[in-house]
Structure 1
Amino acid sequence: MRGRLNVDVAIIGGGLVGSSAALALRAMGMSVALIDSRYCGAQASGVNYGGVRRQGRPPEQLPLAQRAHAIWPRLKERIGIDGEYLCSGHLKLAANETDMASLEAYAAKVSDYGLDLELIGHNDLRRRFPFLGKNIVGASFCPGDGHANPRLVASGFAAAARRAGAHVLENTPVREITRDGGGFVLEAGDVIDVYTPVVVNSAGAWGDEFAALFGEPVPLTRIYPSMVVTEPLAPVLTVNIGMEGGGVYARQVERGNCIVGGERVQPLADPDFSRPRGETALTMMNRAAALFPGLRHAHVIRSWSGTEGMIADRNPVIGPSSTTPGLIHAFGFSGAGFQIAPGVGEVLAELVRDGRSTTPIGAFSISRFAADARQSIDRTIHGSGAEREPEPQQRGV
């Protein structure tokens, strides 16, 4: 016989977003089921690069990033471990004058957000960061950013939520969701039905599938970033480093290993999974060695990849469903969710309790895709200048 679990909130997806939301909801006194088809934190949240950066994000994400920024130094009091978090600073490099102009424009655009960005020219850059190669034109430095160990942080939030009293259901795929009066019934795994008035869809690269069940298609694609880690080395990189326009990112942990990323790989036959490739690792290390001469003779000891959800505008989906009361979405972080996830968890808890958030999230509404679809239909049928007919009343699924 199947068991029954009644909770105030059911969260689909035990990654860093879902587990931080579960912890925040428990702090508010709500009963929570955190449900994951595998292990909490084992997907993108636990296998990403580990950059804890605000620099380079679209401006609309920065209030959320600032909220999360206040959480990272207090990880130990929140989840019992520091997650190897280091406030090292984040250095974004410009390979040419065009990239430097882009960094300058970004710094001007976000000057009111409290990032304290510092633009650094070629000569000063070489003096302050002598580990860099000679061909860098300049950089933008964000001193308050840093990096952490995603494997420790992602699982740490889930463990803290469990200690706080959340029902953590691992290896329990959600097979079906149905509306039951004013709430939902989740058929979870083979043995339990979860009854709840509120569902949080934080299913990562699979979040679009749950949104589509309620008539909310999202143009999400999957990406498979690849990373490598070197043997322990003497100090080489003192800051978390990225490149304007992408191509390579790198950081060094306290025990000496360097983590390098910047390439993607292809999925396996099962698109839930991918596998790193030797030539990809070699490409990343060659790029890194050209930028950081101290890595020229480093040995790679491990490589890995993960599955993440990508949205073209680089913004996630965060907020209430536009079709279904009681459903809240939080997915599609496009490879940049690690830093903001603890802040997203607090926002989700506020949405459940208060129906609104103290942090602006309007830019992340799922309704932006419905508007895009309507405009596309209008252009196809009537031409770009056509007036739109009145919209039908939306109904819950």
Structure 2
Amino acid sequence: MTKALERVNTSDEQPVTTQVVIIGGGIVGVTAALALAERNIPVVLLEKGQIAAEQSSRNLGWIRKTSRHVSDVPMAQAADRLWAQMPERIGRSVGYRQAGIMFLARTQEQMAMYEAWHESVHPLELDSKLLSPAGIDQLVPGGKGAWVGGIYTPSDGYAEPAITTSAIANAAMKKGAILIQNCAVRTLTMSAGAVSGVVTEKGEIRCEQVLLAGGAWSRRFLANLGISLPTLPLICSVLRTQPMKGPTDIAVGGPNFSFRKHQDGGYIITQRGKLDAPVTLDHLLIGHRYLDQLRTQRSFLKIGFGRAFMNDLKMKRRWTSDAQTPFEQVRTNDPLPNHELNQDALNNLKAAWPAFDDAKIEEAWAGLLDVTPDSNPVIDRINALPGLFVATGFSGHGFGTGPAAGQLAADLVSGVQPIIDPAPYRFSRL
């Protein structure tokens, strides 16, 4: 993980009863806890490891509407409003800046995709605009790339993942939420056909509703309950440079690199054109659900068969409430960064913007994404287990929409008017 992650001090005492239990201490679960606490709803959040130690602190920090599924844009718009309110809401800055995000096209085929997306979101009245090569040079000077064009959304931006979820967690506790780290939830307890509590490694908590926001672990947790959630893992490697003078504060995504300014003056960089795809048993079980994605994105995936497969086989897929679970065996999913991909990204970026020629790498890390067949998350109730709700499968987009996704999950749990139409995120679509 990034060494800049802020630690959170939480309670060690597990209550006997509450109204809502949230499983997972990432940005979505923590934001849901804050929203419930603000409504004076008793809530306990349980994290098997450390708050924000997995993908919520390992992502790029981008907050974007650009190139999202059209059905997902309203959530991104709602998230923009919540990001803007965040400093006042939680009492501190999380580095949120609407500095804009730009995507670049090297070929006419890539440009056609941006043009089609721009046309599709026209009714939503976004501030996105198509760019010519001259427009790119004006916004991000000093470049040497031969771009056909691009797309730019000034109201997009970024925040700092290493502090955001931790800051929201502290605010949730001040509002009355109870957060507990290093406490895995093993399973649910049921009474009269509905959820009546959770069994943790430290004992039982009785409750009325449970929200599962466990990221890449959600599929395994649900499978033990007889619920099949189709998600598969991808690994994104990231680097951060030392402070340097760069070409822009705008976040930029090229075909084979991306970069954005970090609050310390360095840059967050990744190989946008390549992700590691470690083969696991789940690929054999549900891989057919992803054939359409594989046909269109095979060139972006570095498929590997090796240690990840064996490690996955060693972890239990079924267990009882009195047995140790995979969540206790692996407190933090901590994949090794692919230094070859990171160096490739930096080389590609240097070729496009020579201002990065003297960039020095400060640190590198990797994060595990949980990807659904349509790349949209699931935020919904599980009808087969009344009282259970899920907010998971964010497919690498969860940080940017996290405040709105957590709010939507809290709305569904508490039965109030949802912040947006939840229809695109229904479990039944999968």
Place the TM-score, normalised by the shorter chain, in its bin: 0.7 to 0.9
Corresponding position: 1:187 with 2:199? yes
Corresponding position: 1:308 with 2:319? no
CA distance in 2, matches of 1:143, 1:264: 27
Give the CA RMSD over aligned residues: 1.8
Q: Any idea what the Cα deviations from partners look like across 1:353-396, whole Å, max 9, x if unmatched?
A: 22652411212111122xxxxxxxxxxxxxxxxxxxxxxxxxxx
The letter of the residue matching 2:49 is R
Moved more, 52-61 or 253-262: 253-262
1:290-369 pair list within 5 angstroms: 290-354=351-415, 357-369=418-430
- Which residue matches 1:221? 232
CA distance in 2, matches of 1:294, 1:215: 53
Q: Any idea what the Cα deviations from partners look like across 1:310-351, whole Å, max 9, x if unmatched?
A: 112111111111312111110010011111110011111211
Once the two structures are TM-superposed, the CA of residue 3 in structure 1 deviates from its matched residue by 6.2
CA distance in 1, matches of 2:111, 2:362: 34
Once the two structures are TM-superposed, the CA of residue 31 in structure 1 deviates from its matched residue by 0.3
The letter of the residue matching 2:256 is G
- Which residue matches 1:255? 264
Asked if the contact 1:183–1:195 (Cα under 8 Å) also holds between the matched residues in 2, the reply is no
Asked if the contact 2:336–2:366 (Cα under 8 Å) also holds between the matched residues in 1, the reply is yes
Q: Any idea what the Cα deviations from partners look like across 1:253-275, whole Å, max 9, x if unmatched?
A: 24320110134345756453310
The letter of the residue matching 1:257 is G
Q: Percent identity?
A: 29
Question: Normalising to structure 1: TM-score of the pair?
Answer: 0.87
Once the two structures are TM-superposed, the CA of residue 176 in structure 1 deviates from its matched residue by 2.2
- Which residue matches 2:62? 51
Asked if the contact 1:131–1:236 (Cα under 8 Å) also holds between the matched residues in 2, the reply is yes
The letter of the residue matching 2:403 is P
Secondary structure of the equivalent of 2:400?
A: coil
Asked if the contact 1:205–1:307 (Cα under 8 Å) also holds between the matched residues in 2, the reply is yes
Once the two structures are TM-superposed, the CA of residue 113 in structure 1 deviates from its matched residue by 1.6
Q: Any idea what the Cα deviations from partners look like across 1:62-121, whole Å, max 9, x if unmatched?
A: 111111110112211122221111110011111111111111111010012232111111
The letter of the residue matching 2:106 is A
Asked if the contact 1:322–1:367 (Cα under 8 Å) also holds between the matched residues in 2, the reply is no
1:111-126 pair list within 5 angstroms: 111-126=122-137
Asked if the contact 1:227–1:260 (Cα under 8 Å) also holds between the matched residues in 2, the reply is yes
CA distance in 1, matches of 2:380, 2:128: 30
5+ residue gaps in structure 1? 370-397
CA distance in 2, matches of 1:3, 1:130: 55
The letter of the residue matching 2:182 is N
Corresponding position: 1:106 with 2:167? no
Provide closer, same or farther for how the CA distance between residues 192 and 167 of structure 1 changes in structure 2, counting only shifts above 3 A: farther
Once the two structures are TM-superposed, the CA of residue 291 in structure 1 deviates from its matched residue by 2.1
Provide closer, same or farther for how the CA distance between residues 111 and 32 of structure 1 changes in structure 2, counting only shifts above 3 A: same
CA distance in 2, matches of 1:80, 1:164: 12
The letter of the residue matching 2:32 is A
The letter of the residue matching 1:186 is V
Q: Alignment length, in residue pairs?
A: 365
